[in-house]
Amino acid sequence: MKLTDPIALVLRNKENSRILSVMPEQSVYQAIEKMASESVGALLVISEGRLVGIMSERDYARKVILKGHSSKETPVRDIMTSPVVFVTPRQSVDECMAIMTMHHFRHLPVMGDDGGVIGIISLGDLVKWIISGQAQHIEELEGYIAGRYPG
């Protein structure tokens, strides 16, 4: 579990790898309900099988609540982030962290070679991956120091 690992490994090891989405014509209220029931902070926006946007809690807070709009009357298409920045399964954990940091994102869709969505990675997923790698490394070092390391 290293920073240089491809994001495909992180996707494979995720506890919940379902792809959650809404359609652009659905209301923001419906999207927020889905986020709450699924305990997620963002949903992909898919139209006719294509990724057209992403909607996050941040989009809701800044583009609906702060502007005094009604979440029941506002369609997702009006507040979603588009075009969507995405990664491929071959990109590294480190690259994904850099993209998220540079753009201030917490979620990144992962797109396959055929242009279809194969998953979504959150900042939390990457942090868990890195912490697991560090814990493994610490355990190996402790084994080495205690003389349990084969060598």
In a domain, 78, yes or no: yes
Calpha distance 12→119 (Å, rounded): 10
Q: Among all chains, which residue has been given the structure tokens 């009006």?
A: 78
HEC sequence for 113-140:
CCCCEEEEEEHHHHHHHHHHHHHHHHHH
Question: Which pLDDT score, from 0 to 100, does residue 121 have?
Answer: 94
Question: Which pLDDT score, from 0 to 100, does residue 137 have?
Answer: 64
Question: Which pLDDT score, from 0 to 100, does residue 129 have?
Answer: 87
Calpha distance 126→62 (Å, rounded): 25
Question: Which pLDDT score, from 0 to 100, does residue 65 have?
Answer: 87
Calpha distance 46→109 (Å, rounded): 12
In a domain, 2, yes or no: no
DSSP percent split of the chain into helix, strand, coil, nearest 5 = 40, 20, 35
How far CA 23 is from CA of 38, 47, 98, 104, in Å, comes to: 16, 6, 29, 24
In a domain, 21, yes or no: yes
CATH number, domain of 23, equals: 3.10.580.10
In a domain, 151, yes or no: no
Question: Which pLDDT score, from 0 to 100, does residue 8 have?
Answer: 93
Say which residues have a Cβ less than 8 Å from residue 141's Cβ, sequence separation at least 6.
Answer: none
pTM to 2 decimal places: 0.83
In a domain, 91, yes or no: yes
Domain range for 36? 7-145
Give per-10-residue mean pLDDT for the chain (151 aa): 87 86 98 96 95 95 90 96 96 95 94 93 90 70 70 54
In a domain, 1, yes or no: no
In a domain, 150, yes or no: no
Number of domains in the chain: 1
In a domain, 14, yes or no: yes
